[in-house]
Each structure stands twice: as C-alpha cells, then as structure tokens.
A and B are shown apart, each in its own frame.
Chain A
Amino acid sequence: MNSKEYNYGKITTTKIKAKKKAEEVKKYQTIQMTDGVLIPKKNDGSVLNSWRITFIFSISLLFFLVVFIPDPYRKIFSIVITGTPVTFQATIGAIIGAVIIGTFTGLGAVSKHKWINMVSGVYVELIRGIPLLVQLIFIYYALGRFFSLNGMLSAIIALSICFGAYMGEIVRAGIQAIPKGQMEAAIALGLNRAQAFRYVILPQTLKVILPAIGNEFISMLKDSSLVSAIALSDILKRGKEYISRTFLSLETMLIVALVYLVITLVLSWLVGKLEERLNKNA
C-alpha cells in the first residue's frame, strides 16, 4: 500500500453518530439471563468467596459427619451415594436431550417460516405451563400404557422435553442478541442462511448463552431428584428408602442435601471454568 501518494484534502466526517451506534450494538452483545448467580466468576470477588465458603462448609460438614459420627452417618452416606449413578445418568441424558431440543426450538423461534415459529412457540408455551413432576408421571404412566418405557428412559425424555423448552428460549434470546450486521455480512459474502447460522451466528450465541445454559444444567441436576417419584433409585429415593426402614429422617435428609450441594457446587465451578476458556478470545 502506498499510503503517501493520495491526498483527499480535508477529511470531513459524521462519525459521532455512527460511533454511538456501534457502541450501542456492543452493549447488546451480552445478555443476562439467570435466576441468581450460580456460576463463580474469577474477577467477582464476592461471588467467588460465597462459593468458596459454601463449598468448604458443605464438604467439611459431610467429611466430619461421615468420619467422626459413623453411626448413623457413615451408614447413611454409603447407602445414599449408591444413588449417584442414577442421578448422573438421568442428568447427563437429559442435558444432551435438552441441548438438542433447545437448539432446534431456538432456531425454530427465529425461523423465517411462520408455521415453524408457531410449532416452536406452542411447544414452549405448552411445556412451560405444566409442572415437571406432572410431565414426568404423565410420561411414565400414561405413555407406559402404549409403549414399554423403562424408568430411566421416561425420566430422560421428560427432563429433556421440559428443559428443552427453557433451553429453547435461552437459545432464541442468544441468537437475537447477536447484532444483525453479523447475519448481513455473512449472507453478503454469499453464505446461505444455514451456513451463516452454523459458522457465524451459533458459535457466537454459544458464548453469550453459556452462563444461562450452565444454570439450566445445575437446575436439571437438582430437578432430577423428581425422578424418585417414578421408582428410580436416585440419591433422594435411596434416602427415602432408608428413612422408611429406620425413621432417621433428619439425619438422612441432611446427608442427601449435602451430597446434592457438593455435586451442584462442583458442577457450577466446572461451568465457570468452561466459560472462562470460551471468553479468552472474546
């Protein structure tokens, strides 16, 4: 480039208005959609501290009870912990299902086809209006009449369908938070809409929605305790079984609560780490 050759005289510009606009666009590149901060952030001292305090408190209480008061706590712990594989299976299965359903629901909500909008909108409204416990029992017992669904499969289906609707709303909001210029630039380069979504819009959406999605994952882990209503032996069910044998309700539920708490806190830490990595290049 031969930068000295050209001379354009006095440079006139109307940049102030345009700059303001660009700044406004920037402001909307992140969305806040949480029901409270579950995920610790590195630079947020107070949140990190409250996370730390809770974690240290819960893990040391659990450790203390199990090690120093073996009767009844060690017994309870050894029984309750056998429920974790079921809890994890249901949660992980439901996370995968909900992410897939949520992505398509979110894309459907921003689709150019009216009837696809409609389908995804009705799905979201329908599912959000029915309690998860009702959905769970409905799928297990009602659909169980026509198809042979085992407990785990119906739990995963119910959790996926329920959280898929919430996830869909998050994905929609995330897509809409990406400045319009990104799509325009992509299609002006000759990409079709599908390619533009895949290579330009969705990767950016992922970064925007990760905190909200992480919160959903944590909620799913907690709400997976509802599967105990359909005869699945998760953490809560193991505890309830133990109570019915020994009537040690306070002690058992204390351990159940602590086990959930520790798992949830670890999960929120992991999501925080993931977010940090994705934000490196932001």
Chain B
Amino acid sequence: MPNIKIENLEKTFLTVDGTLVNAVKDANLEVKSQDVVVIIGPSGSGKSTLLRCINKLEIPTGGTITVDDLNITAATTDIRKVREEVGMVFQAFNLFPHLSVMDNITLAPIKVKKMSIKEAKKLGMELLKRVGLEEKAEAFPNQLSGGQQQRVAIARSLAMEPKIMLFDEPTSALDPEMIKEVLDVMMDLAKSGMTMLLVTHEMGFARAAATKVVFMDEGSVVEEGSADEIFDHPKNQRTKDFLDSIL
C-alpha cells in the first residue's frame, strides 16, 4: 500500500548572502493509496520544496517523511529504493536531449532494473501508446513540442513502474494550447488508480481529479479538504484571499 506520511517537515535553505530561508516549516500531510492530492498556494509557499523532499532531491532539515512505512529521512535508508518507487515529473521536462524518446524511456529500466533491451523497448512502446506518441519513438526531444515532451517525461517516469507519482508544476512551462494534452494524460493516470501528488495552478484539473486539495502558505499546510470544500467553502482567510486572487 503506497502511503506517504509527512510529519513536522522542515526545510531551511542558506542563501548566497548568508540569510536563512525557511522554505517549509512544520508541514504535515498524509497521502493514502490512490489519492490524488493537489497542492496549491502562492509562489514561494514551499509547495515544490515539499514535493522535492519526498524523493530527497532536497534533504529536509527537520521532521520525518515515511513512504510505505520506510522512514526516508533517516540517514540509513537507501534513498535509491525510494526513488525507484516514486516517479517525478518536472516543470522543465528535463528530457535527456542526447537520447531518442525511446532511449529516454528505457535508460532507467535497463540500467537500474537490469531489464533486457527487448523487454524495455516493449514496455517503452506500450507507454508511448498510453501517452499517444507511439510514432515519436525515434524522435529526439528537441523535435517535439512542449506538450509532447512532457508526455514523454511522464512515460519515462512510468517506465520505472512507480507506485507514487510526483508532478512539480507539470504544465507551467507549456503554451496554453498544449496544457490539455498533458492534463489528459494525467487524468488517465489518476483514473487508473495511481497515487499522485501534484503542485499545479490548474484549478480546473484540481476540481476534476483531486481527492484532496491542500493549500500551503508560508511553508506550512494551512488548510486541506476535498476540492469542493477548498474551492467553494474555504475556511481559512488566507485560502480565501488566495483563491480570490487567482479565480
């Protein structure tokens, strides 16, 4: 049962000019199997940092994160085990530009899971079909549109057969006409029962897909609830202000 439990998470950055920035402080969050949790909040509220702490792209300075009963904040935990089970999709896609679409997808299964090349290619083809890009297998990332690149990036993460998917503003770098194709892929994924945790500004998507919406401000979780609760009847004043400013 994939299950993420975040308790009293804290992340402090030391900036270049020597001041300490408290990006996340005292954040608590629980994600159950098959949940689709959407994190919203103003920029600088620590949403992305929280997400990045879950696969230790950022190392938390305090608190605990448990993924599948495995305490990943403990120094002894093999973080690669966690990363194999937690997929991540980035705002800037981060496809490997020197590799073809197929090689982008098969690299990790072949090198990390020691899958045979033939098997990996078969899996890659299935995943490309799933994101609607089977004809682009031999293309290079720079030959694809932003929306297509992000769909490949999603397929690449799925190739490791993760139990949890993290999305860090997956549509923020896209032209408006390409956002829908990426959201559709994510929606399919949510419908298939994938546990998802995403930071996004797509409130329409949040309403349609989220089992839980979390509002963050100034590094902590201010309010959480179902999409209807948060969007239609926010309790906290800060949530209200934020929603007023964007809708």
Question: Chain A: residues with CB nearer than 8 A to chain B?
Answer: 1-3, 5-15, 18-19, 21-22, 25, 179, 181-182, 184-192, 195, 199-200, 203-204, 207, 281-282
Contact = CB atoms under 8 A, between A and B. Distances in A.
A158 to B, nearest CB: 34
A199 B96 CA distance: 10
Interface string B181-208: 1011101100000000000011111011
For chain B, give the interface size range: 35 or more
Given A3-B180, A187-B57, A189-B156, A282 B142 contact: yes
Nearest to B208: A8
B183 A199 contact: no
Contact of A190 (B92, B108, B180, B183): B108
B204 A8 contact: yes
A181 B92 contact: yes
B206 to A, nearest CB: 9
Contacts of A2: 184, 188
Contacts of A189: 83, 87, 107-108, 112, 156-157, 160
12 contacts: A6-B184, A6-B208, A13-B179, A18-B169, A18-B172, A25-B92, A181-B90, A184-B90, A189-B107, A200-B107, A204-B97, A282-B98
A221 B178 CA distance: 52
Contacts of A182: 94, 96
A8 B202 contact: yes
B148 interface: no
Contacts of A8: 180, 183, 202, 204-205, 207-208
Contacts of B142: 282
Nearest to B81: A190
Contacts of B132: 1, 3
Closest 7 CB pairs of A and B: A8-B204, A185-B94, A9-B204, A189-B108, A181-B94, A190-B84, A188-B88
Contacts of A14: 43, 172, 201
Contact of A1 (B95, B98, B173, B184): B184
Interface string B81-115: 00110111011101111100000000110011100
Contact of B207 (A9, A11, A15, A179): A9
A207 B84 contact: no
Interface string B144-187: 00000000010011001000000001011111100111011101
B180 A21 contact: no
B188 A1 contact: yes
A281 B98 contact: yes
Contacts of B203: 9, 12
Instruction: Specify which of A8, A15, A189 lies most central, judged by the most chain B CB atoms within 10 Å of its CB.
Output: A189
B185 to A, nearest CB: 6
B230 interface: no
A3 B173 CA distance: 20
B65 to A, nearest CB: 15
Given A6-B187, A8-B204, A13-B201, A185 B97 contact: no
B131 interface: yes
Contacts of B87: 188-189
A12 B208 contact: no
